[in-house]
A and B are shown apart, each in its own frame.
Chain A
Amino acid sequence: MTSSDVQPLWDHLLEAGVVAGDPPPAARPSPWFVRVMSALCGWIGAVCLLLFAALGFRDILDSAAALFAVGAAACGAAAALFRAKPDSDFAAQFGLALSLAGQGLVLLALVREVKSLGAVALTMALFQSVLVAALPNFVHRVWSVWAATTAVVVASAEWQLQAYASGPLALAVAVVWLNEFRFPRHGSVLRAAGYGLTLGLASAVVAAAESTARAHPRYAWAGGTLSGLALLWSVRHLLLREAVNPVSAAGLRIVAAASVLALAAVKAPGLAPAVLVLLLGFANGNRVLAAAGLLGLLAYTSFYYYSLELTLLQKSVVMAGTGAALLLMRLQLPRARPDGEQERAHA
């Protein structure tokens, strides 16, 4: 990126009185797919480093304390590397691989020493939370938040509570993304947490679907219902943000559509979280998040065919009923006015 790339945008904001002075030196973060590529390569590197440790230092594999110490030291070294060379691509990749390998060793130590899977998962969640604070790297933070969330989902599964995990997580996702612009100085930490929680929400939806298929927990509907409530809360928040009264005619139409989806989520628990992510992505101008929501919606609809908590007949009623209600609501929307007129009305 050169300064000439950002100059028109800066000038536009300068005219509006939002910024002052000259644009800061160029430091545009990498596009999301470059970060995903880095993360996947970091994983390959971490597996190689783990195999090196396993083959080269067989003695440490025999001792849980040694495994934990070496793993924690590797994470500490990664933290030092991230802090010493924040702008180096090599340091970022090496630190990522080193930390992932270290986390693998810590996990191995915990599995060796602690008998309860739930306790192992919660300890890992705690460990990952420490790493979020200690390792100042965006990709690593996304990973750590995702890993911590997934560990909590695993722990909840151990205690037969996984059917409920998606509700609180959907709420957490909504809270983080709806407050994305409130703490601009900590924006990258907040966004990393948002992406990590969103990935964790996907883990929770999968875990909940698995559990209802196997165990039919008595209150399996609770997770979907809580996700639906998170969707409704987000819709209300966004209506207020856009200066639309939720009990006005326009507001009620939107709330009614969201209520249909929230109701459907009782029997199709993945619908509300996917729509929530899509909505939050669109509202914040985040195309990656919106695409993730869309992908989640398509993936869940395909997965729903194979889920066993309802018969195909019941699922067809849920889907066709929800779809018909949404189409009817679309017909109830007032006809669009010309764009210019709408913009004036908005202003």
Chain B
Amino acid sequence: MSPQRRDILNWAEQGRIAEADLPRALALAGVLPSRAEWRRFIERLLLWMGTVLVAGGLIFFLAFNWHALGRYGKLALAEGAVAAALVCVWRCGLDRPAGTAALFAAALSLGALLALIGQTYQTGADTFELFAAWAAMMLPWVLVGRSSALWLLWLALVNLAVALRFEATPDLFGINVDSRGALWVLLAFNSAALAAWEALAWKGVASAHSRWGQRLLALAGAGIATFLVVLHILSEGKAAVWGAPAWLAWLVAAYAVYRRPIRDLFVLALGMLSVVGVTAVFLVKHLSSEASTFLLVGLVVIAMSAAGAWWLKAVAAEGER
């Protein structure tokens, strides 16, 4: 909810804006969409829903492996979809939403084509190789597309490829690192991607303006770092030995970046939630399993989260982003 919306609704609730005037007040503040914004919304909704549903339909169709259609027919269909999408990109240009959506459709169709090749020729490749090849082959399109949606798709594919890679072969450069290796690689990758995204936003690259990409990456980073430290605590340091230092480093970096230079309360709230959760796990693990322990932990959690909410409200009061 935008700050203007919150303020106006708050004033209306206090009786400072009459019921009849509320829609006008919201429109004056730019909270309610104008007719031009409605038009843009409807155009984008039809464009993106249509694109994703058509590309999804192609993926579903190829996954069905319909025997009535031969292998060359299927390959022609998948390759034709990629080619048709690229023709749309060429005709529309990447400065128009239709061009970006077409490039997104090309990227999705490319995945369908790669899956079809694996299904048809039984290459013996692991699943992670499909996602890795998909991510590698669509990277040039992602770079020229300069679209948050394309970047998020690419990041999701890389995350999936890494997770599946360690599930299939738990070693890194010949060293056996078991399944937790994926967590470390993903923590490093998502943190690096977050730093790169913030740097692009700092430099004013258009596609980096929306905060949602950064917030999703921060969510992934915070989740993995928290999981690693919880593993560290529960195994008494035997597993994920560097879990606690990595978690602390993530928290300090998040505070340093998101408290002042790029003020983002979402990331600060994530950090606060992580601190509360890790504290609860630490206390439960290291105190005796008596009733009083749980009362103590419950009260600590409540006190910490109340203090956290108060602090976040104080930070928010310094001025909304």
Residues of A within 8 A of B (CB): 1-2, 5-6, 9, 12-13, 16, 18-19, 21, 23-24, 26-34, 36-38, 40-42, 44-49, 51-52, 55-57, 89-90, 92-94, 97, 181-188, 191, 242, 254, 257, 275, 278, 282-288, 291, 297, 301, 305, 311-313, 315-327, 329-330, 333, 336, 339, 342-343, 345-346
Q: Give the docked Cα–Cα distance between A283 and B26 (Å).
A: 11
By the criterion CB–CB under 8 Å, are A184 and B9 in contact?
yes
Among B60, B292, B309, residue most surrounded by chain A Cβ atoms (within 10 Å): B60
Given A1-B317, A89-B307, A312-B60, A16–B24 Cβ distance below 8 Å?
Answer: yes
| B interface: dominant SS | helix
Count of A-B residue pairs with CB < 8 Å: 274
Chain B contacts for A257, CB-based, 8 A = 42, 46
Given A1-B317, A45-B305, A346-B35, A323–B50 Cβ distance below 8 Å?
Answer: yes
Q: Which residue of A lies closest to B61 (CB)?
A: A316
Contact residues on B (Cβ < 8 Å of other chain), bracket: 35 or more
By the criterion CB–CB under 8 Å, are B46 and A326 in contact?
yes
B28 within 8 A of A: yes
Q: Which residue of B lies closest to A26 (CB)?
A: B317
Chain B contacts for A94, CB-based, 8 A = 302, 306
B170 within 8 A of A: no
Chain A contacts for B277, CB-based, 8 A = 44
Given A29-B10, A185-B15, A285-B33, A326–B317 Cβ distance below 8 Å?
Answer: no
By the criterion CB–CB under 8 Å, are B276 and A44 in contact?
yes
Residues of B within 8 A of A (CB): 1-17, 19, 21-26, 28-29, 31-36, 38-43, 45-47, 49-61, 63-64, 66, 212, 265-266, 269-270, 272-273, 276-277, 280, 289-292, 294-295, 297-299, 301-310, 312-313, 316-317, 319-320
Chain A contacts for B10, CB-based, 8 A = 27-29
Q: Which residue of B lies closest to A328 (CB)?
A: B50
Q: Give the docked Cα–Cα distance between A41 and B312 (Å).
A: 14
Chain A contacts for B29, CB-based, 8 A = 9, 12-13
Supply 26 A–B pairs (Cβ within 8 Å), ascending by A.
Answer: A18-B17, A18-B21, A23-B11, A30-B309, A30-B316, A31-B1, A33-B269, A44-B276, A49-B295, A55-B290, A55-B291, A184-B12, A184-B13, A184-B19, A187-B9, A187-B13, A254-B42, A278-B45, A283-B33, A313-B60, A313-B61, A320-B61, A321-B57, A326-B53, A333-B39, A333-B46
By the criterion CB–CB under 8 Å, are B28 and A13 in contact?
yes
Q: Give the docked Cα–Cα distance between A194 and B15 (Å).
A: 21
By the criterion CB–CB under 8 Å, are A313 and B66 in contact?
yes
Interface pairs A-B: 8 shortest CB-CB: A320-B57, A323-B53, A48-B298, A56-B291, A41-B305, A184-B12, A323-B54, A327-B50
